[in-house]
Chain A
Amino acid sequence: MLLGRTANGLYWMHRYIERAENIARLVDTGHHVALTGDGDQIDSWTSVLQSAGAAGAFQAVHGQVDAQKAIDFMLRDESNSSSVLQCFETARSNGRMVRTALTREVWENINTAWMNLKAALSSPVDEKRLPELLNLIKRESALIRGAFVGTMLRDERFDFARLGTFIERADNTARILDVKYYVLLPGTSWVGSALDTQQWESILRSVSAHRSYRWVYDVRYKPANIIDFLVLNPRMPRSLAFCATNIVDNLDYLERDYGVRHACHDTAGETLARLKATSATDIIDKGLHEFLIEFISGNNKLGNEIADAYRFY
């Protein structure tokens, strides 16, 4: 038993940390594509902004996309509630609100991360400084995660935090795939071309899976394998199946603790069952875009059901 507001704070603190990390990874991908690709740079930053769910907000402020502005917008813009800096600001605010539910180590790491990133992102980011900055963001979130996993009691506090992490991660992975779903469809004219390979690699890179893909599948990228990896593979830590499994596990712990089963338990269970019963080919046949849209809205619904069940508000 803990305050509903505390459960809410833990949940959102972890959603925002997860989001910050994903945004950093997307910026990294954009930067990498810009350095290696022969495609249109503006196009690649536009798609990065779309994957981050920030294209509309960006356009409202800046209009035309350019690399510098896109990087700045995603890393440090105060008007962008999902910029890395704002994510850390919100995560830390939530952490401060639920200070009593965190170990000292977790709190100190989130507080330090916030101070360090605030300092590092106090001025516009030029591309020279970008790799160092992205490393800093990754390192800070790794430290928070390390302190969290290493010091938190495995009780309901842990469960609510993990639910935040995996709901956010599932949403992010699904969105990344959806922005690029067309390059994974069979029958587009340049299948297997250099451009395709580059697009596929950028998808994998934005979920840090471009190396591990080769350990699981073969050296060549194949759309069906990429879909299998990011959607269905239960061992890939950013796949939808992995997230769904963790959500079900954490909800099960809560059910055991409280002795009560809620609507969110059924929704999470059904989502996982559906993922287990499907194959990459099924998804392609049904339509990847339709599949993802349905998943994202189901994931949102699940988030709301969790908030209802455990009286977040």
Chain B
Amino acid sequence: MTAFDEMRKDETTRWPYQSYDEWYARQTAEDLKRKSADAEQVFRRTGITFNVYGEAEAAERLIPFDIVPRILSGAEWRRLAQGIEQRVVALNAFLDDIYNRQEIVKAGRLPVELIARNKTFLPEMLGMKPPGGVYTHIIGTDIVRTGEHDFYVLEDNARTPSGVSYMLENRETMMQLFPELFRDIRVRPVENYPELLRRSLEAVAPPVCDGPPTVAVLTPGIYNSAYFEHAFLADQMGCELVEGSDLRIENGRVAMRTTAGYKPIDVLYRRVDDDFLDPLTFRPDSALGVAGIMDVYRAGGITIANAPGTGISDDKAIYSYMPEIVEFYTGRKAILPNVPTWRCSEADSLAYVLEHLGSLVVKEVHGSGGYGMLVGPAASKKEREAFAAKLKANPANYIAQPTLALSTCPILTEKGLAPRHVDLRPFVLVSDQVRIVPGGLTRVALKEGSLVVNSSQGGGTKDTWVLDD
């Protein structure tokens, strides 16, 4: 399986990388090694860490950062941005539809059991019209590439996508390490993301809000794996970072305990999962949310971003219908294709998947973070057999996709540049308009040949450049 390399084609450098490559040729190995160590120091000092669940030792780990940028041309980006915008508009229309009229089901374009029997579908949201009609405000669309013009959407992370702080810190670090590169190469900026996020959130303030909206970020607390990001975003947006214990319902509003008494919140950017949001409605044992917030929400007293129940749109079984969903709501073919997906709930597909387990990637429909999946070509016969048994026991819980030859981008190794597989997560904001900063988070599988880019499984990150051309 030969992968498309984004930097070099045969012996020539692809043009987005040309200026970088010329600069690279002038660097010494020692210089680059030192810069790499400097970068690690910056990350360590800043405390840009993530927590790994189930590891007592090294509870806070750094995500490895590679100093070679991943570069996209302006033209490549424009096509991606169009495709992503089309998709997030369709996702919101889809959510509005299934929680209200359910026309897509009535039209026979989506099987009703995919919604009715889906545990990420929240009946509590039925008939709900969130402010601005927006359900999923912040989305991280995972994109993979297999050729010069071949980009696919791998996942729509429409619940609480993380990683945007790495996008921002990676850029900040690169600008500190290599100011001359940014002088010579025109890279489109990403720094205004927090400002765009704040504006997007303010634009969907609930009707009850009659002044400048009070925005807050809700975090599960310092032991959450993405705590750094929660604090980072609150800090950059200039708003409060709250925990469940800071909040209570007062006069029909969600209010935070401040040094001058309780103060109502208009827009809550929550980084707490649906299940934990309201112990009165969802998990009664949750201490991470606010008792009664769903009632306030339904009465129009607060905007929750993303809305509860958006998880259904990044369910992997729903994903397989995304081409139909995009067409149904936008009236046009999807600009960005899906990765071909077999739904194991269908007998024919299941038979195919079981027969070709060695060449497929099988995922749980509700899974994320690279947990609970089988990468066929990398698995042993025993692992495949064990997985086949799970598949047969509960086929509807799985989908399968071909093992894609993800494009590669070089990383700096002991022996110089070496290609590694990458994906891309651009971050999209939906509100009164769709806002996308040019770039995103490039995740890279650091192990030679590996296709798993998740940070929990040994992946690293890179700065992602979109050229201003």
Residues of chain A with a CB closer than 8 A to B242's CB: 3
Whether the Cβ atoms of A1 and B231 lie closer than 8 Å is: no
Judge whether A99 and B231 touch: CB under 8 Å. Answer: yes
The interface residues of chain B lying within 8 Å CB-to-CB of A3 are 240-242, 246, 256-259
Are B46 and A111 in contact (CB-based, < 8 A)?
A: yes
**Complex interface: chain B residues within 8 A of A260 (CB):** 260
Q: Is the interface of A mostly helix, strand, loop or mixed?
A: helix
A1, B45: Cβ atoms closer than 8 Å? no
Most interface-central of B222, B227, B260, B261 (chain A CB within 10 A):
B260
B222 A97 Cβ-Cβ under 8 A: yes
Q: Is B263 an interface residue (CB 8 A)?
A: yes
Indicate if the CB atoms of A258 and B44 lie closer than 8 Å: no
A4 with B257: in contact, given A111-B45, A111-B47 (CB under 8 Å)?
A: yes
Within 355-406 of B, Cβ neighbours of A (below 8 Å) are at none
Given contacts A4-B259, A258-B260, contact A108 B45 (CB under 8 A): yes
Decide: A311 and B259 in contact? CB cutoff 8 A: yes
A4-B258 contact given A93-B222, A100-B234, A100-B241, CB 8 Å threshold: yes
Bound Cα distance from A195 to B246, whole angstroms:
54
Let me know if A5 is at the binding interface, CB within 8 A.
yes
Chain B: residues with Cβ within 8 Å of the partner, total of 24
Interface: B38 (CB within 8 A): no
Say whether A96 contacts B47, CB under 8 Å. Answer: yes
**B47 close to A5 (CB less than 8 A):** no
Q: Looking at the assembled complex, report how far the CB atom of B272 sits from the nearest CB atom of chain A, in whole angstroms.
A: 16
In the complex the two chains form, is A1's CB within 8 Å of B245's CB? no
Which of B221, B240, B256, B258 is in CB contact (< 8 Å) with A100?
B240
Distance from B233 Cβ to chain A, minimum over Cβ atoms (Å): 9
Any B CB within 8 A of the CB of A279: no
A residues less than 8 Å from B257 (CB atoms): 3-5, 311
- CB pair B240 A107 closer than 8 Å: no
A4 CA / B255 CA spacing, docked (Å): 12
Q: Is the CB of A5 within 8 A of B260?
A: no
Determine if A156 is an interface residue (Cβ-Cβ < 8 Å): yes
Name the distance in Å between B237's Cβ and chain A's nearest Cβ: 9
Residue from A3, A160, A311 with most neighbouring chain B CB atoms (10 Å): A3
Does B222 lie within 8 Å of A2, measured CB to CB? no
Of residues B222, B232, B243, which shows the largest number of chain A Cβ atoms within 10 Å of its Cβ?
Answer: B222
When the two chains form their complex, are residues B259 and A7 in contact, meaning their CB atoms are under 8 A apart?
yes
**Interface 0/1 of B104-136, CB less than 8 Å to A:** 000000000000000000000000000000000
24 contacts between A and B (CB under 8 A): A1-B263, A2-B240, A2-B258, A2-B259, A3-B241, A3-B256, A4-B257, A4-B258, A5-B243, A5-B257, A7-B259, A93-B222, A96-B222, A96-B227, A97-B221, A97-B222, A99-B231, A100-B231, A100-B234, A111-B45, A111-B47, A258-B259, A258-B260, A311-B259
Binding site for B on A (CB under 8 A): 1-7, 93, 96-97, 99-100, 104, 107-108, 111-112, 115, 156, 160, 258, 260, 310-311
- 12 new A-B pairs (CB below 8 Å) besides A3-B258, A3-B259, A96-B227? A1-B258, A1-B259, A2-B240, A3-B242, A3-B246, A99-B241, A100-B231, A100-B235, A108-B46, A156-B259, A260-B260, A311-B257
The 3 closest A-B pairs by CB, nearest first: A99-B231, A310-B259, A100-B235
